[in-house]
Chains A and B, each alone.
Chain A
Amino acid sequence: MTTYNFLQSYWWVLISVLGALLVFLLFVQGGQTFLLTEKDEMQRTMKVNALGRKWEFTFTMLVVFGGAFFASFPLFYSTSFGGAYWLWMLILIGFVLQAVSYEYRKKHGNIYGTRVYDTFLFFNGSVSTILLGVAVAMMFFGAEFSIDKANILSARPTISTWGPYHGLEAILSWKNLLLGFTVLFLARTQALLYFINSIGDEITRKKSAKALIVNGAIFVVLFLAFVATLLTATGYSEVTENGASHFVAEPYKYLHNLIDMWWVLAIFVVGVVLVLYAIVRSIISSQFTKGVWFSGIGTIFVVLSLFFIAGFNNTAYYPSLIDSASSLSIRNSSSSEFTLTTMSWVSLIIPFVAAYMIYAWKAINNKPITQQEMEQTHHKY
């Protein structure tokens, strides 16, 4: 493996880690989908505040995930964002509305009323989450685009060309939606586990455990359907001959990737077991409140393994359905060796960043939220 190849792989691992952490942190979005239906004011306040203390982590993770993808694999950023315009714009609008909603929902003079801001949170929680799943699903199931870098020299310079619906077609694809809804119900499941963990209120815990049965079951069914669809899907392999590479369709590509990379299969299985353990034990035992950590680590493992089978083992992580030669792999879409090297030095700060984030998380969540705290504190949403 050359240094350049190593750096490309290293950055794919980092992107995978950021993506996995983002999916874990989507519990905030999942939790937002429960607010409108929560009739009890105090219950809703506790839930909003439990989520509101974490929303910036998710938001920041999305921004950093995007920035890191841009810096390390700019051809993906250029192709996907510029092509699937409507998909990304809808995701974006959801997050813009989220960013103000926590701060404004209860403030005097917010003009539109608390319910409108809670509806914004619901929109972000449901639509943005599903669409993020749709965006990631295209990494497996492909998209309709072609790339011609020489087009930068034409009268209407366009490096990448997407189908006429610019992302709307991706939203209507059942395979993409399957992952979208899987991510939504995972986020809802994780949110319920988070409520159980971070809200010190018996009613909330009982209601969350009850809702966990339905949401957990839907998630498991959707997840199994997605895994079955993925492992039977045709992917694209990158074949290099005489220094030039091209892509060939390979049935069961992702199943082959799991078999070829046993360590990824191991991560996947451990992740699935941890998530299932968290759901089942949290339903059975009312004393068990740490389910979110098991499911969180499990989610991170599963998402990591999915990113690995998308990008490693000479796989096109962004297959083109109309021109296979335009498919993106971690080899043909990355930044230069110089830039990846520079960025890799900067990435050494990540453990330090993670350490202070964990420290701050613990400092804020050292005690579960209670009704008493909500009644007494001025610093709440």
Chain B
Amino acid sequence: MNDFATLVDWSRAQFALTAAYHWLFVPLTLGLSVIVATMESIYFRTRDKKWLATTKFWMTLFAINFAIGVATGIILEFEFGTNWSNYSWFVGDIFGAPLAIEGLLAFFMESTFFAVMFFGWEKVSPRFHLTSTWLTAIGASVSALWILIANSWMQYPVGMEFDPDQMRNVMTDFWALVTSPVAINKIIHSIFSGWALAGVFVVGVSAWFLLKKRNQTMTLRSMKMGAWIGLIGILITVASGDGSAKVVSRTQPMKLAAMEGLYHGEKGQAITAIGVLNPDKTFDNNEPTFLFDISIPKGLSFLAEGDFDAFVPGITDIINGVKIDANGDTINTIPYAERIAIGKEAQSLLKQYDEAKKQGNEVAMQQAKEGLKDTFHYFGYGYFDNPGEIVPNVAITFYAFHIMVIFGSYLIIFFIAILLLLYRKNLTHLLTQNRWVPIIALATIPVVWICSEAGWIVAEVGRQPWAIEGLMPTKAAVSNIPSSSVIITFSIFAVTFLALLVAELNILRKYISKKSQEDLDNSNN
């Protein structure tokens, strides 16, 4: 592998490591902040000291998690410049704006009111404190909203045009970014997945208390709140996930095909519930796709189009130029091989424009500009030489998607079951007397995290090889630095992240097992 390919791979690996690590903490911040704020609201209304103790207990866990989430967020922002400097110029005019708005609208709100929330118990009025807690939660969600608008634009670039004079894309419609259908679904899907994750966390930690026979009354209250918020979260996540799938079928059909391991689509396309991919399968051979699979007839057609008989194109179909348009109709479009040729022509025209500009030849500039207008749509394809390069890693996308769906479905059952056990008095003993139910609840904590990470893997790996779908591949976005530098920084981050994660988990464990008992016991006195 040459140094450039190594550089691109390690730059991607470093960004993936940072994003995946950041995403370990962010959803818990999103969901737990809402749970803590709700608990404090109950305390504010009832002035029940037990609710105060419970609020403070979960708030401390929130603070421990919040710190490391903040720490990893800054890395991502910096890495757009340090590792993806071409990207920063080529689309910085569009992508930078939501990042800056996130800072102005959300980061200051989060950090300011977090300080009041954490240190202000004896310094500000209860009403101001409660407001601060809610503003911290709102700040976290507003932050997620803007960064997801930015991310959605990478999946579905809208509201811009190419400026050949500056060799970059410029924004032409800010509202197109904000109201993009990809953004709306993604924002809802991601924020509420945080509620589901935090719900499992609260239920799981509470289950640990039940196993230890501690503070049963408060534990069951926490568990109820966690299960309700978790259930609301997972139901909205699933509904918006369905919306996302329909949008993806139109905006990123290749991603949807990879999610399903679908090479040749058909009308009334089945969905693979479980499957083992054939590692020898490629888009241009006749190997079977699966070594083993269980499918639901017509499922994918319904998922993608809301119509059991709709056609869903597979990877090979898309490469050959078949897709679904905005109305849901199957149409023939330009095959990938042709797109590559048009992309190369667009790049050649841009070169001609640049040379004509240097010579002051306005006629040639105008000619090149006209040609560029007609071909720029496939500009990014010009970086490739054959269609096989434009297919994402099918195995990773497929397995991540199926893990997400299976685990997500389990979570719905999990929350409903927990709520049933909590509300049906004749069943509650299964939680308080039986060891197995709390053990299952505790074991669900890693399940929800895997589910959440899998979701991100689907979104990001499924977009490859593009940094910006159809416009800029990752290999054109990367900085001009030696691959050895990136390998060193990747290693530094990997070691640092591991060390900090071990510390965080141990602090959480210690706090939950000791400090919490003291706090809650004191509140009982």
Contact = CB atoms under 8 A, between A and B. Distances in A.
Contact of A103 (B63, B101, B174): B63
A222 B80 CA distance: 34
Q: Sort chain A's interface into a size bin.
A: 35 or more
Tell me the interface secondary structure of chain A in the complex. Answer: helix
B89 to A, nearest CB: 4
Contacts of A112: 499, 503
B73 to A, nearest CB: 7
Interface in A65-91: 66-68, 70-72, 74-75, 77-83, 85-86, 88-89
A39 interface: no
A108 B515 contact: yes
Interface in A312-358: 335-336, 338-339, 342-343, 346-347, 349-350, 353, 356-357
A100 interface: yes
Interface stretch (B122-130, B211-219, B435-443): B122-130
Contacts of A89: 78, 82, 489
Contacts of A353: 104, 108-109
Contacts of B476: 152, 157
Interface stretch (B231-239, B280-288, B324-332, B346-354): B346-354
A249 interface: no
Given A339-B171, A366-B123, A346 B104 contact: yes
A342 B171 contact: yes
List the 3 shortest-distance A-B pairs measured between CB atoms, nearest first.
Answer: A82-B85, A81-B81, A74-B92
Given A82-B88, A346-B101, 7 more contacts: A54-B115, A70-B80, A92-B78, A104-B67, A149-B89, A166-B482, A350-B104
A360 B99 contact: no
A85 B481 contact: yes
B93 interface: yes
B163 A336 contact: yes
A269 B433 CA distance: 74
Interface in B25-43: none
Q: Sort chain B's interface into a size bin.
A: 35 or more
A149 B83 CA distance: 17
A64 B112 contact: no
Contacts of A103: 63-64, 66-67
B108 A336 contact: no
22 contacts: A60-B110, A62-B74, A70-B100, A71-B92, A75-B89, A79-B85, A81-B81, A83-B480, A85-B479, A92-B75, A104-B504, A104-B507, A108-B507, A109-B507, A111-B502, A149-B167, A166-B481, A339-B93, A353-B109, A363-B124, A377-B122, A379-B121
A74 B96 contact: yes
A112 B502 CA distance: 10
B86 interface: yes
Given A72-B96, A82-B81, A108 B74 contact: no
A249 B23 CA distance: 48
A71 B74 contact: no
Interface of B: 4, 56, 63-64, 66-68, 70-75, 77-78, 80-86, 88-90, 92-94, 96-97, 99-105, 107-116, 118-124, 128, 132, 163, 166-168, 170-172, 174, 347, 350-351, 354, 383, 475-476, 478-482, 485, 489, 492, 496, 499-500, 502-504, 506-507, 509-511, 514-515
B119 A379 contact: yes
A159 B94 contact: no
A102 interface: yes
Interface string A36-57: 0000000000000000011011
A66 B499 CA distance: 27
A41 B321 CA distance: 71
A88 B120 contact: no
Contact of A338 (B81, B171, B480, B509): B171
Given A77-B81, A95-B74, A356-B112, A108 B99 contact: no
B485 A338 contact: no
Contacts of A93: 492, 496
Contact of A59 (B70, B166, B514): B70
A107 B63 CA distance: 12
Interface string A164-182: 0010000000000000000
Contacts of B99: 67, 70-71
A149 B166 contact: yes
Contacts of A356: 109, 112
A43 B72 CA distance: 30
A9 interface: no
